[in-house]
Structure 1
Amino acid sequence: MYFTRNKIINIIGVLCGIIFFTLFIYSQEQVEIRNISIPEDLRTHARSILGFKSKSSDSENPDSYEKKPSDINISDECSKFLEDQEWRKNRIKSFCEARPEYNATQSYILYMENKNLAYCKHAKVASTTLSSEIIQLLGLMKPEYSINRESNKAIHQLKQNVIYPMLRKTTEFKDWKFKRHLVENSMSFSVVRHPLSRVVSLFKDKILETELKQRSFRDCRMEILKKYGNLSFTSLVQFVLEELKEKCSDEDCQGVNDHFFPQYMKCDYCRMPYKYILKLETFHRDLLCMGKIEKIDFREIQENPTLQKNEKLSLGLPETDFRLSTSELLNSLPKDIYEDLVRMLTPDLEMFGYLPETYRKLDSSSPTSE
């Protein structure tokens, strides 16, 4: 069969029309996809991580969820936050399954009834920053609490004498089953950090930046000075190790300063299903996203005080000590003391996914102590 020129032109025209129409439909689908604020897979992921429950187990209608992630403006950073939550919780679960000897520790949980908020805190892990947040959430923050040395003292006294005792009442003397039920049915969270940097932060805050006779941490400072003749970083680490070896089991410590407690031992992570695990290394993002998701107004009214200050109070220590980084201070430890420290902190390192090599290799050639 032969086609005339006109028929060929008509066929080509029809084919071009089909191609154009197909491309138009595809482009419209892409525009529609780009206009979706939260993809369905992210919604499903958020429900899974944050525990959003459907009113009907048979329904897959997004409108059936009691709290819909579509109502939350989750940015790219908060999407990563949700992914990190899944990884952190799975890491804790894997640790607990592999290390049953750490499955029943203590938990020191603060509970704020008006916000249904449960917080398990660690010393030297954003506890000062979060205490200020709690004060403002309770409506107790005064205008004169500007960020300076005197206001920090006022906030410290308020949290120690009023806030913490009040928030501990709900959980004090309660068994782990009561606490677990509370954690499961509240906006519960805990903050962790690299355990080695936590020891360095303790040294900088309680030794280098504090007057010798200042009340906070005074007894420990005087005991270290009496025992080792100085307040060096090595002396502090030796003191911490001796305290933990003498006064701690795998599950608890008796008569040990709160700053020395390993993190795994303070919050019973194997039995307490915290809704959020924040990390100090991503604290600003984590607090922002948790507040956005839970609709809680965290204002970050006080910057984390563990950041190095430009000046330090004189303790008769070498000027270079304060300027040393975390890595430099850890590398200054004798090899055997450093290895003892890593062994003591291994549960924290494993449970929260930290590596000692972040700051110093275990085969470092530093001299051993005498």
Structure 2
Amino acid sequence: MKEHIKHVLKLAFSIHGDTASYDEIHERIVSGGEVRGTNLCIMIFAIFIASIGLNMNSTAVIIGAMLISPLMGTIMAIGYGIATGDIDETEDSILGLLFQVITCLITSAIYFTITPITTASPELLARTTPTIWDVLIAVFGGFAGIIGFTRKEKSNVIPGVAIATALMPPLCTAGYGIAIKSFKYFAGALYLFIINTYFICLATIIGLLIMKVPQKTERDDERKKKFRAVLIRNTAIIIIPSLIFAMKMVEKEKEDTTEPIGISGISLDVGKLSEQLGVIYPEVSEVSAGYLKEWDSSEEKQHENLNVIVYLSKDISAGKKNKIKEFIDVETKFDKIQFIVRE
């Protein structure tokens, strides 16, 4: 009975049973990582689609861009080259990825420079502060991707991984940072892209080594030891900032409150809204929101209005106030939005 259970568990968790031939795996990954006319044209179209989706705060459009983007193939090709010791494939794929990244940054920066809508949408802001949870998504997504990619029969895993790990939107957000000359946006979004790229690549390497793909260049024990040391060092360097961001997020979550004095609370992340507006408009110091009870003398009854108060360090123009109102209305529809200057 014990042996039977072991056998069942082994079959259940084995990734070797329906693995494609090594030649087929090589052909799939290498061809998917090529940067040529077709892939490049598709990528440019995906850049514009993602940029428009981020600009218009459309999740559906952004998902469409993720699905058609060819970036995943190049990253997996880098992992394949490293796992098999194929230096030429690794170098070609890295150069291809760099070319794709530069193309994406330039194209998205051009779009966000000429678009009349310059206000940062929630979809854009969501990609500027990556945390340890983004690391976990990239790791699990990378493992799911390489397992699905190496099966005999093609599966629908890769599209799901492309949506979960989101490679194109962070690059387009970095392009937005270039367009509006915001280093914070650029650095935050580029860091998210680096997280996704590195950990998808790392998961690909580990997955292929577990599958024991043939090595083009054999590594002796000394080289294997150095290889592991480099991976551990690089992983730690990339993870540390995400841990710091995560701790700050948790601390802020504990401190945030959604119930200002005199107003009954509502379910809204006021702290996050304050932070987002503060990045775009430094004059915004705090945001309070809730239901305010008011007596209607004409109808002789009490009404509850959903109000928001934006506290400012100094007065701002009517144009800026209208843009803030538009931004807030994307999050939640309020009955009234007030601006109060608080020295």
Bigger relative contact order (CA 8 A; separation at least 6): 1
TM-score normalised by structure 1 residue count:
0.24
Calculate the TM-score normalised by the size of structure 2. Answer: 0.26
- Which one has the bigger helix percentage? 2
